[in-house]
A and B are shown apart, each in its own frame.
Chain A
Amino acid sequence: MMDSLLVLIPVGLPLITAALLLPLTGRARLQQAAALVSGGVLLASAMLLCARTARGAILVLPLGGWSPRVGIVWVADALAAVMLLFVTIVSYATLLYAGGSLRGERERRYFYPLHQFLLVGVGGSIVTGDIFNLFVFFEVMLLASFALIALGGRARQVRMGVPYVIVNLVGSALFLAAVGAIYGAAGTVNMAELSLRAGGGGLPGVFWGATALVLIVFMVKTALFPVFAWLPDSYPEAPVTVNALFAGLLTKVGVYTLFRTIPLLGGTAPGGWLQPALVAIAATTMLVGVLGALGRSTIRGVLSFHIVSQVGYMIFGLALFTPLALAAGLFHTLHNMLAKTALIFAGGVAERICGSGKLYAMRGLARTEPWLAAGFFVAAMSLAGMPPLSGFWGKWFLVAGGLAADAPVATGISLLVGLFTLASMLKIWNAVFWGEPEGQRYPGRGRHHGMLGATLSLAAMTLLMGLFAAPMFSHLERVATQLLDVTPYVAAVRAAERREVHAEAP
């Protein structure tokens, strides 16, 4: 009972909360308080789930009593648990930040319910055990994100949001087509069953074509090269809170689905082209993302383009396919969720104080807002990979994994990109925080406890994650080993079937 509840809560609780928040429309403070209470419960349940799955337990919840081949199962293993934990942390920080950051009536009215719907989609994408429900939860997530990105309703926001909407709509349509083709070819859409059948061989070419299509769609959602162009223009136009929420969660869900499906399905793909292709894609993504960021002229523009580059690191870890590299990719993903969100938080406050997000429009924020500057500095150095922060260890493990897996070129590129990242962060630092104060048109606006608190606590967490990198990494190595050896996962899902059938027999 406890176990089923732990798997249900990440989806069920935000759904109930969203339903409860809707009638409170127009009372933003009350909505925020309710969302924070619900977020606290979510945080606690994610921690419990982490503890429960830390020793390799896999919780399986068959809904509706059908066999997993045709029915809906939700699965939570150690990977899902640790992702859920960080998703909840980021979303909680966003709620704190939103109190001071939302502007205008529309944003205040609709942000909190939409935030909960987004969480339903994210949580569902993480725990779902079959690809059709993955499609459904992607759509829930997308619909909420569409509404959030156009929340301000300004013409420019709509215009820049349109490519995001269209690319993701077409991506989802292709995803559904691929799910249909996979079902037609394999007779199931359950990931464990698919893994078993794919490993057994004898599936028609349609199956592998559709699987490749699914991976391409996940690449779109993850913003990997060459299908990342929807991200850098649309994200900076969204309200700051929404930008931070997307940066922390959305592409990371794409990363998670790749981590989940590639070991299950791709490990047995014919031809062995998948791994080198992924390495090449990851390296190109890192490089293109960081170069693109150099050309941007607003704070959040630079930071949003860096999301693309960082995603490359995560997929680089996955592409190497060793427990060490996979754990490094996961470590980098988790680190990035914290650091990137903190950076966009800090950038948003700076934007408020200056009245514009343009670089060089103001200077000297470090003198007037030392706490904000400290938060930004820690998160920026973490992103650039300076010791002892979490970003340093993320890169350290990745380089170690890359060299051990004999991929020197991509590893070299990752080091070079780290240098560019540092340059990019220093550029923002010089342009906004350094020097004599000038151009700060609204100096009082940055002093909001919620906004500063959220920024500083996330920055502190990247520091903590850096200081306790060793125990964290050894846990992630266990997660990665469990991920690569798919047999326990498949067995756990199939055992749920037998248990259900057994329970129905008398």
Chain B
Amino acid sequence: MNSFLLRQVARGVLPVAVLFAIYLLLRGHDAPGGGFVAGLVTSAAVVLHALANVAPSERARRPRVLGSVWLGLLVAAGTGLVAVAAGGPFLTHSHFDVGSGPATIHLSTTLLFDVGVFLVVVGSTITTLAAFAGGENPR
């Protein structure tokens, strides 16, 4: 798709979408959001960007993001296994409060797990959608 309007829109949307995804990722433990939806938002923006800016013949080339699926799985499984090593059931999470008074930040290991989910979702969604965008022979 070679459209000036789409290119401009995609250029604007990408940073905003990524920021929004980070926001969703960070608030995900206690409020609506989380790694899954953040990953979807990011990959939607990336795919829109690709549709606008990448020539059709290039799109079928397998993007090199499958590594992020592996990394994500490793991170997510790793956070679960840390709990097992500490003697709890798989995927037990710990919470910390950093700072004091009004500047307190609530942190939890679920954030790490969510980052893992985020990486898996981004990697697999972009791979799948790129396969479709190629037209011929999705692999």
Residues of A at the B interface (CB closer than 8 Å) are 19, 63-65
Contacts and interface: CB of A to CB of B under 8 A. Distances in A.
- Looking at chain B, what size class is its interface with the partner chain? under 10
B92 A65 contact: yes
B73 A63 contact: no
B91 interface: yes
Nearest to B92: A65
Contacts of A65: 88-89, 92
Nearest to A500: B89
Interface string B70-96: 000100000000000000111110000
Contacts of B92: 65
Given A63-B90, A65-B92, 7 more contacts: A19-B73, A63-B89, A64-B89, A64-B90, A64-B91, A65-B88, A65-B89
8 contacts: A19-B73, A63-B89, A63-B90, A64-B89, A64-B91, A65-B88, A65-B89, A65-B92
Contacts of B91: 64
B92 to A, nearest CB: 7
Contacts of B89: 63-65
Contacts of A64: 89-91
Contacts of B73: 19
Please provide the 3 A-B residue pairs with the shortest distance between their CB atoms, ordered closest to farther: A65-B89, A64-B89, A64-B90
A65 B90 CA distance: 8
Contacts of B90: 63-64
Interface in B76-123: 88-92
A64 B80 CA distance: 10
Contacts of A19: 73
A481 B1 CA distance: 66
Nearest to A153: B137
B104 to A, nearest CB: 28
A64 B91 CA distance: 7
B134 to A, nearest CB: 15
A64 B90 CA distance: 6
B17 to A, nearest CB: 29
A19 B69 CA distance: 11
A391 to B, nearest CB: 43
B101 to A, nearest CB: 33
Nearest to A109: B139
A63 B83 CA distance: 13
B93 to A, nearest CB: 11
Contacts of A63: 89-90
Nearest to B91: A64
